[in-house]
Structure 1
Amino acid sequence: MNNAESSAVTSDLAWFKSSYSGTEGGDCVEIATGTGVVHVRDSKAAAGPVVRVSREAWAGFVGAA
């Protein structure tokens, strides 16, 4: 999937940042859930690349963090 396709696919998703991100902006990640997948992107580059991982992989990452 190229970046243009990725933007089209992810534009309909409901993105959100962690409550730990604060209100000053800065370096944040946003996530959106899809069917069996979690989409992750840089909040400062909403049209940029998106990483997709399985829900299981995301749960493992969050559990370790």
Structure 2
Amino acid sequence: MEAGALQIDRVQREPRWIKSSYTGNDNCVEAAVIGSALGVRDSKIPRSPVISLAQPAWKSLVTQLRQR
């Protein structure tokens, strides 16, 4: 497996990507549950690199963004 490649749990072959409801214009992000982590990617480029966050890190990020 390539460095940085996603590990997808055995039951789900492909993650189900969901576009952010706060998406505006062309600034789009998508998120998907991947195993026990959450992946985030640029929705305009489906094959773009994915940032993988543990659930506590995702929760912290969302909390901080909501405070802005």
Identify whether the pair has TM-score above 0.5, normalized to the shorter chain: yes
- What amino acid is the match of 1:60? S
Q: Which has the higher contact order (CA 8 A, sep 6+)?
A: 1
Alignment of 1:24-63 (within 5 A): 24=25, 26-63=26-63
Please state if 1:14 is matched with 2:9: no
- What amino acid is the match of 1:21? T
- What amino acid is the match of 2:28? C
Q: Higher helix share goes to which structure?
A: 1
> Could you tell me which residue of structure 2 aligns to residue 2 of structure 1?
2
Matched pairs, number: 61
Q: Where does structure 1 lack aligned partners over 5 or more consecutive residues?
A: none
Distance 1:33 1:2 in 2: 20
Q: Where does structure 2 lack aligned partners over 5 or more consecutive residues?
A: none
- What amino acid is the match of 2:16? A
TM-score computed with the length of structure 2 as normaliser: 0.72
Question: Superposition RMSD on alpha carbons, in Å?
Answer: 2.5
Distance 2:62 2:46 in 1: 22
TM-score computed with the length of structure 1 as normaliser: 0.75
